[in-house]
Chain A
Amino acid sequence: SQQGEEDPQALSIQEGENATMNCSYKTSINNLQWYRQNSGRGLVHLILIRSNEREKHSGRLRVTLDTSKKSSSLLITASRAADTASYFCASEGNTDKLIFGTGTRLQVFP
């Protein structure tokens, strides 16, 4: 399977804590993207990091990319109950197709 992998599969934290999710992919990439999915809904794009970038920020989100290890991480700081969702990484290689990871289910308790 070409699918990437994410860990942990599930994560439960309290509001105000930080949440870190990790993603590994298998082939060389042009960029890596993170998406969010609320239960039973479509995916929403969060952030894109290019292969020549190492870190990117957007609001409470911080993404890092290590191409030598073929891995990325998503950090959500000061989490809120509304952050409860599944988070997916997706890598774009030379085929112009996105390959999605298996996702991390995040539960943030008030």
Chain B
Amino acid sequence: DGGITQSPKYLFRKEGQNVTLSCEQNLNHDAMYWYRQDPGQGLRLIYYSQIVNDFQKGDIAEGYSVSREKKESFPLTVTSAQKNPTAFYLCASSGQGAGELFFGEGSRLTVL
């Protein structure tokens, strides 16, 4: 089945550690996005990529890094520089600009 797969679903991290969240899509979409969602809040854009080997910062990129070496994959690293990393992270893709987005099931990161 075509879709977006995020892993892991749940992740616990100690302060000072970097963690990488995986996002893979088999929809042949050019654009991919990472969003952060805090409890009871909307989505805020962290990074996005319109094409392989290129990506742009979103509204809250500080403390995060990404790569886009393959069309199918857009991993997000939450670095130790992110002051408040506990959140629900959502990956999405779209076929044409920012038209309809297809979302993964999310990864919940908790910093202990």
Contact = CB atoms under 8 A, between A and B. Distances in A.
A40 interface: yes
Nearest to B9: A40
Interface size class of B (residues with CB under 8 A): 20 to 34
A42 B90 contact: yes
Interface in A32-52: 33, 35, 40-45, 48
Given A48-B100, A97-B98, A41 B42 contact: no
B41 interface: yes
A51 to B, nearest CB: 13
Contact of B90 (A4, A33, A43): A43
Interface stretch (B12-20, B73-81, B103-111): B103-111
Interface size class of A (residues with CB under 8 A): 20 to 34
Nearest to A2: B59
A33 B59 contact: no
Interface of B: 4, 6, 35, 40-45, 48, 50, 58-59, 88, 90, 92, 97-106, 108
Given A33-B100, A42-B92, 19 more contacts: A2-B59, A33-B101, A40-B108, A41-B105, A41-B106, A42-B4, A45-B102, A48-B99, A48-B100, A92-B97, A95-B98, A96-B50, A96-B98, A97-B48, A97-B98, A100-B43, A103-B40, A103-B42, A105-B40
